[in-house]
Chain A
Amino acid sequence: MSLLPYLDVGLALLIVGVAVWIIAARDLFASVVSYVAYGLLLAFVWIRLYAPDVALTEAAVGGGVTGVLLITAGKRLGALKSIAPEAQPGLAFKLLIGVLAALVAGALGAVIMMLPDPPPSLAPEAAAAAAGAGAGLGNPITAVLISYRSFDTMLEKIVLILAVVGVWSVGTDKAWGDTPAPFRRPKPYAPMVFLAQMLAPIGALIGIHIFWVGANAPGGAFQGGALLAAMWMVTMMARLVEPPRVDAQWLRLALVAGPAVFLIAGLAGEVVAGSFFAYPPGLAKPIILVIEAFMLVSITAALPMLVAGPPSERSEQ
């Protein structure tokens, strides 16, 4: 008689409960804060699914960085007190949508109960990729990301850049080239400066450690980059470093470095190893390491820019 099933069911109920609260809460900010808690609970489920890599990504990106993004948005929107209470949909409409949503969830649930047996799996191919082209990578997920499905990973980095471009382009013309707004404080505040000074070096160390062990253990450029990005944001919030102007050359170079290096390596594979994104055997590990290092730089640069939002003009004083 094990306690584990009860724990799993309890956890599942808790997650669904928090999700219901996100949807049902009257207050906008309560809903946003619950979402941060929800991201944390999801990390748990991923541990139970034997996916520590995903748990780490969920904790860092899903819970941490997204949480700050949403809290910033929620607080700023909540400050707009002029909002008239919007017309809520009527009860009949809500009921109808409820039935529709329940049907969709039920259908999905039925599909889940009827998944094919034996389950299809790409694991053998991924294992081959880890042993072949991604030589020397003990972590199969890193092997998949960087070798077996390398094209996906590169395009995903390009999506990040496109998102940064999208966010920046929402700003006003007058503010173009200036720094993003949310990290500006009037004055440094001692306890926050202390916290940032203690946290940032340790955090940078941990971020690089997680990036480095990613070859063989849970971790990698995504997770390490997200932690480094979080630490950069903390130092900016404490006014230890100034946020960069969005037209700064080094910032743009850092943003593009990851996908650019990835693309060059991919094209070089066509010439050297005979196919696009093939790595020459023997050199695979160092090449992958270089690509990952530049991706780390790009992720670290992109995430804070996405959270900070478009550039906005400094108020003239």
Chain B
Amino acid sequence: MTPSVLAGLVGAALVGLGLYGLIIHPHPLRKLLAFNLIGSGVFLVFGLVARRGAAAGFAFDPVPQAMVITGIVVAFAASAVAVALILRLAVEAGRVTLDPEAWSRPKGEDAK
């Protein structure tokens, strides 16, 4: 097994882990972290494809690598928007939750 295949398998494991965390965690920031794990897992699979596509005198295929660079920046932008939304939600609701019923309950009267 070459190092790049290993990296690809790590990417697959990260996608699985991230998916699990995304569904399991009720906390929105934990969901965001899990979502970023999925993203980086996909990037690693791209990295494997880039390494396999070594041709034309390069040690790698530059196209997938360039897409990963674009992807990292876009993932960051999306995370920033998500964080802003989560923080505003927390300020408005007085608690950090995605539970839609939390809005109909007055503040301080949280779930038992």
CB of B20 within 8 A of CB of A170, answer: no
A140 at the interface (CB under 8 A from B): yes
A86/B26 contact (C-beta < 8 A), A23-B21, A102-B16 known: yes
Of chain A, the residue at the smallest CB distance from B60 is A50
Question: Which of A114-122, A233-241, A270-278 interfaces with chain B?
Answer: A114-122
Of chain A, the residue at the smallest CB distance from B53 is A121
A170/B15 contact (C-beta < 8 A), A23-B34, A86-B97, A87-B26 known: no
Give min CB distance, B108 to chain A, whole Å. Answer: 7
Total contacts A to B, CB within 8 angstroms? 283
CB of A69 within 8 A of CB of B80, answer: yes
How many interface residues does chain B have, given as a range?
35 or more
29 residue pairs of the A-B complex, CB under 8 angstroms, read: A12-B6, A16-B13, A19-B13, A19-B17, A32-B33, A45-B7, A46-B47, A50-B51, A51-B50, A62-B40, A69-B80, A70-B83, A76-B90, A82-B94, A83-B97, A94-B24, A97-B23, A105-B16, A105-B17, A113-B5, A119-B53, A123-B54, A126-B63, A144-B66, A148-B63, A148-B66, A153-B70, A170-B87, A299-B73
Give min CB distance, B17 to chain A, whole Å. Answer: 5
Give min CB distance, B1 to chain A, whole Å. Answer: 8
A190 at the interface (CB under 8 A from B): no
Of chain A, the residue at the smallest CB distance from B1 is A5
Task: Please indicate the chain A residues that have their CB under 8 angstroms from the CB of B88 in the complex.
Answer: 170-171, 310
Q: Which of A74-99 contact B (CB under 8 A)?
A: 74, 76-77, 80, 82-84, 86-89, 94, 97-98
A residues contacting B by CB (< 8 A) are 4-5, 8-9, 12, 15-16, 19-20, 22-23, 28, 31-32, 35, 38, 42, 45-46, 48-51, 53-54, 57-58, 61-62, 65-66, 69-70, 72-74, 76-77, 80, 82-84, 86-89, 94, 97-98, 100-102, 104-106, 108-109, 112-113, 115, 119-127, 140-141, 143-145, 148-149, 152-153, 156, 159-160, 162-163, 166-167, 170-171, 220, 222, 299, 303, 306-307, 309-310
CB of A65 within 8 A of CB of B51, answer: no
CB of B33 within 8 A of CB of A31, answer: yes
CB of A160 within 8 A of CB of B69, answer: no
A104/B16 contact (C-beta < 8 A), A15-B10, A141-B62 known: yes
Of chain A, the residue at the smallest CB distance from B3 is A8
CB of B63 within 8 A of CB of A42, answer: no
A57/B80 contact (C-beta < 8 A), A82-B108, A100-B19, A123-B58 known: no
CB of A306 within 8 A of CB of B16, answer: no
CB of A49 within 8 A of CB of B16, answer: no
CA distance A76 to B86 in the complex (A): 11
CB of B26 within 8 A of CB of A88, answer: yes
CB of A126 within 8 A of CB of B61, answer: yes
Task: Please indicate the chain B residues that have their CB under 8 angstroms from the CB of A309 in the complex.
Answer: 80, 83-84, 87
Give min CB distance, B78 to chain A, whole Å. Answer: 7
CA distance A122 to B22 in the complex (A): 34
**B18, B60, B80, B94: the one within 8 Å of A306 (CB):** B80
Looking at B5, B21, B77, the one whose CB has the most chain A CB atoms below 10 A away is B77
CB of A112 within 8 A of CB of B12, answer: yes
CA distance A95 to B18 in the complex (A): 15
CA distance A304 to B15 in the complex (A): 29
CB of A101 within 8 A of CB of B33, answer: no
A167/B84 contact (C-beta < 8 A), A62-B40, A105-B16, A222-B69 known: yes
**A50, A66, A120, A156: the one within 8 Å of B74 (CB):** A156
CB of A12 within 8 A of CB of B27, answer: no
A105/B54 contact (C-beta < 8 A), A82-B95, A144-B63 known: no
Task: Please indicate the chain A residues that have their CB under 8 angstroms from the CB of B3 in the complex.
Answer: 4-5, 8, 48-49
